[in-house]
Amino acid sequence: MKVTMAEVNQRLITLVLGRISKELTGESFTPAIVKSSPLYYKTSVPKQVIVGQEQCSINGTNVIFYLRGYQPDVLLVQSSIEVEDLFQKNIFALEKLAYEHSYRILKDFGGDLMFSEEYSIFAVTNYKGEPEQFFQKKDIIASLLKSEEFLPLDPQEIQYTLGSRIKYGNNDLSIIDWDGAFLFDPAGDIEEDLDLLTLANLQLLRHRILDHQLDTRLVRMAELVHKMPAGRMYNHKELAEKMKETMEIRMVSISELQRLERDVKLIGDWYSARFYELAADKFKIDEWKKTIRGKLESLEDAYSVVVENFTVSAKHRAEWIQIIAFFILQVGWLVLIILEFLQFTNH
């Protein structure tokens, strides 16, 4: 079937998520559930709060940037731009402008550009027939997904890119890659897919943030270990402060990883679970988890060393107390003996 592009609705949707310097508050935003999802879907994923919106003019078109947040400190900037033809090279320039505005907004909120993620969704809706009809544009589809504006992709790479896909209905299709996703749906039911892609990017960002925090905490734990050599006696206050700090580092790190794993519990063969797993696999989230767990094990090792030094120091303190007490006792006995001797000689 020949595609009449004028009849097809096409949108470029950009997502920018970043950590900001203040805690976010606002009215809760309810995610869309259109396709197959478990009953607990709404309660099993992180909640969004509505922060506001801003308008910008891009190439003469008024574009709304929706601002939502994931508490406590991750801001989402989302834009949606209708275009006449997504399958053109000029989409790269439009995408760049949308990101420039998004990052400006993020910066205005005190965003940390080092800890941010960007992602593009190319939505194609209101068409008739199967989505594979658009594969006549497979070269530009793969280029947009890979963010490769100038380098022509190898046919095998194009085939590999288009192979990372999932279908729910006969005529819908989602192709997911590292930098972007193409969503084809004749009825326009893409909101749930959009939410899941946003969630996957959020998880990637939070894993990156936690990984960096663990690096900082490992350095601090190493300092505590080196400054607390076995055998040295510390005063009670100094010991208590060092133990408190190491315990806080350990517990905060463990609880943050548990929160990340608790945030997403989409299990089984539901469409939403399979869709999220495909995105998470592209983002290498399992590899991030393995790295983080490895660093947590290193934290545990450092914590054990500090506890051991604390125990040794406490043991030495007790031994010194016993020695001093024994010495005092001996002195006391000596004094008594001398007094008795003096009393005896006086008589």
Instruction: Supply the pLDDT for residue 344.
Output: 60
The predicted model scores a pTM of 0.81
Instruction: Supply the pLDDT for residue 116.
Output: 96
The stretch 152-159 carries a mean pLDDT of 94
Q: Tens of pLDDT along 92-114?
A: 999 999 999 999 999 999 998 99
Mean pLDDT of the chain: 83
pLDDT beyond 60 at 162 = yes
Instruction: Supply the pLDDT for residue 273.
Output: 82
pLDDT confidence tier of residue 45, bands split at 50, 70 and 90: confident
Instruction: Supply the pLDDT for residue 293.
Output: 86
One-letter amino acid for residue 8 of the chain: V
Instruction: Supply the pLDDT for residue 38.
Output: 61
Q: Strand locations in the chain, DSSP E? A: 9-19, 27-29, 48-58, 61-70, 74-83, 112-125, 165-166, 173-176, 180-185
The stretch 220-248 carries a mean pLDDT of 64
Q: At what angle do helices 271-282 and 191-226 cross, to 10 degrees?
A: 50
Top pLDDT among 279 and 231 is at 279
Return the number of other C-beta atoms located less than 10 Å from residue 93's C-beta: 11
Strand duo 27-29 + 165-166: pairing: unpaired
In angstroms, rounded to a whole number, what is the distance separating the alpha carbons of residues 116 and 109? 13
Weakest mean pLDDT among 3-7, 138-142, 172-176, 314-318: 314-318
Q: Tens of pLDDT along 311-325?
A: 655 555 555 566 666
pLDDT beyond 80 at 81 = yes
Q: At what angle do helices 285-346 and 236-263 cross, to 10 degrees?
A: 160
pLDDT confidence tier of residue 229, bands split at 50, 70 and 90: low
Percent of the chain residues topping a pLDDT of 70: 72
Residue 124's SS3 state is strand
Q: Tens of pLDDT along 240-294?
A: 676 677 677 777 777 777 777 766 665 556 788 889 899 999 999 999 989 988 8
233 with 320: CB under 8 angstroms? yes
